[in-house]
Amino acid sequence: MVKLLSLIALCVTFCALTPTLTFAAPAPSVGSIAPDFTLTSQEGTAVSLKDYRGKWVVLYFYPKDFTSGCTIEAHNFQRDQAQYQQKNVVILGVSVDTADSHKQFCTKEGLNFKLLADTDHKVSTTYDSLMTYKDMTLAARHTFIINPEGKIVKVYTDVNPNQHSTEVLAALAELQK
């Protein structure tokens, strides 16, 4: 009985001294309102998701500037910019790279849509788009299509950068009917 009481006392003490545990909210899913955020763009300006209410948004997370898959994906979004603009769609790319890295990447690759720096990983975490690769923390290649009311209407977690822009355009054609 003494051992049991000691164990209970130990548990009570541990619980009292342990900070309250918090658990991350589940990843945003189709039908949910896209969590708002503000990040710095390659231009050094603050960009908030709420600034794009009334427009469709393709919010895409990608691992790293200047890597082959990320360059292909960005080039394809750039190639298709006119089609996105016709559909009233804004492209926002997010990685954990710095705004300066994004600026260099945009300059080198001729990109004219916004790339956003999530250096503290908060937005990537909120969107369940963070991964570890070779001891590096990177954004996972995920995409969220957000409608003009701010609701997530399509989620991609298995992205092929070679065909992703074409795939997103096809989905937008269906969603905007």
Residue-wise pLDDT for 25-84, tens only, equals: 567 899 999 999 999 999 999 999 999 999 999 999 999 999 999 999 999 999 999 999
Domain ranges, ordered by start, for the chain: 36-175
pLDDT band at 145 (very low <50, low <70, confident <90, very high): very high
**Cβ proximity of 143 and 165 under 8 Å:** no
Active site residue 70: yes
CA distance 91 to 107: 17
Label residue 149 by pLDDT band (50, 70, 90). Answer: very high
Mean pLDDT to the nearest integer, 132-154: 96
Q: What is the pLDDT of residue 26?
A: 65
Bridge-based pairing of strands 114-117 and 89-95 is parallel
With a pLDDT cut of 90, the percent of the chain lying above it is 83
CA distance 106 to 59: 17
* The CATH number of the domain covering residues in 36-175: 3.40.30.10
Which residues, 6 or more positions from 1, have their beta carbon under 8 angstroms from its beta carbon? none
pTM above 0.75, yes or no: yes
- Nearest residue to 116 (alpha-carbon basis) of 163, 57, 158: 57
More confident residue, 27 or 133: 133
Query: Which DSSP category does 33 fall into?
Result: B
Residue 138: its H or E element:
strand 136-139
> What digits encode the pLDDT tens for the residues 84-109?
999 999 999 999 999 999 999 999 99
Q: Which of 11, 15, 70, 106 is catalytic?
A: 70
Q: Which two tokens stand for residue 46?
A: 């603050």
Report, as an integer, the average pLDDT of 9-19: 36
Q: Is 87:57 a contact under the CB 8 Å cutoff?
A: no
